[in-house]
Amino acid sequence: MHPAAATPGPSSSTAIVVRSDVSEEDDVPVRAVFAYGTLRGDFGPEGDHWGVIESTGAAWYRTTVRGYRLHQEEGLFYPFAVQTGSLEDVITGTLLLWAPGEVARRAIARCDQIEGFNPHRPLHGLYRRAQLEVELPPAAVADSVDAGWLDRDIEATTIRAFIYHQLQPPAAAGKSILSFPGGDWLASRQDSERSCC
C-alpha cells in the first residue's frame, strides 16, 4: 500500500501562493498539483473524476490559491483558471501530493495527459502549466512526515505545485463564459444540481 493511501483525507487548512513566478527550469522536482475542477480530491465519493488519486496513492488537502480567476465555457463539464495576479482572485480546490520520485513523475504525467499539456510543447495545448510555491497545510506536513516523504528534521512549510490554466477565456462563437467569483467551481456545481432537482 502506498503511504498516502492510508491518509488521503480532506483538511480544512488553506494553502496560499507564496510565489507564482517559479521557473519550470528550476531543479526542484514538483510533486504536487493544485486541482480546482475534475481532478479535485473531493470531486466525488471516490475522489477525482479520473481515478488519479486512487491509482497513484495521492494524498489531498483542501486549499485555496490566490491570483487566479475561475471560469467555465457553456456546455462543457469542466472549468478553467485564468491567471490575474490579483490577490483578490481566489480559487478553491485541493492540493494533490505524491511521494517524491517516480510516483510523483508518473502521477504528474497522467495529470498532464488529462489536461492536454505536453511539457515538450508547452504552448500548444488547451492548458498551460505554471509552477507555484504553495504553503503546505499543517495536516499535509504531518502526514508527509509520518509517511516518510519529509525529513522530521526539516521544517517544510512550502512545496512546489503545478496549476493548469488558460491564458484568457476563449472566445467561443455564440457560447457564454460562466464566472465563479467565489472561486469554488465544485460548490457552485453542487448547489446548481441541488436547486434543479
pLDDT per residue as tens digits for the range 150-185:
665 555 577 899 999 998 766 655 578 888 988 999
Portion of the chain with pLDDT greater than 70, in percent: 75
Q: How much is the mean pLDDT over the chain?
A: 80
The answer to whether residue 191 scores a pLDDT higher than 70 is: no
* Residue 83 pLDDT greater than 90, yes or no: yes
Mean pLDDT of all residues in 16-31: 57
The single-letter code of the amino acid at 119 is: P
* Nearest CA among 134, 123, 117 for reference residue 39: 117
Instruction: Identify the pLDDT of residue 181.
Output: 87
Give residue 143's identity as a one-letter amino acid code: D
CATH topology of domain 3-196: Hypothetical upf0131 protein ytfp (3.10.490)
User: What per-residue confidence (pLDDT) applies to 66?
Assistant: 92
Q: What is the pLDDT of residue 171?
A: 61
Give the number of residues written for the chain: 197
Cell of 12: 480544512
What is the pTM for the complete model shown?
0.80
**Range among 17-31, 64-78, 128-142, 145-159 with highest mean pLDDT value:** 64-78
> Can you give the pLDDT at residue 156?
59
pLDDT of residue 15: 45
Task: Name the nearest CA neighbour of 59 among 35, 80, 28.
Answer: 35
Specify the pLDDT at position 183.
94
Q: How distant is the alpha carbon of residue 181 from its chain centre?
A: 18
Average pLDDT over residues 77-103: 93
DSSP state of 75: T
pLDDT at 120: 93
As a whole number, mean pLDDT of residues 111-139 equals: 89
Other C-beta atoms lying within 10 Å of the C-beta of residue 117: 20
Give the model's pLDDT for residue 75.
Answer: 86
194 pLDDT higher than 80: no
Neighbouring-strand partners of residue 73: 177
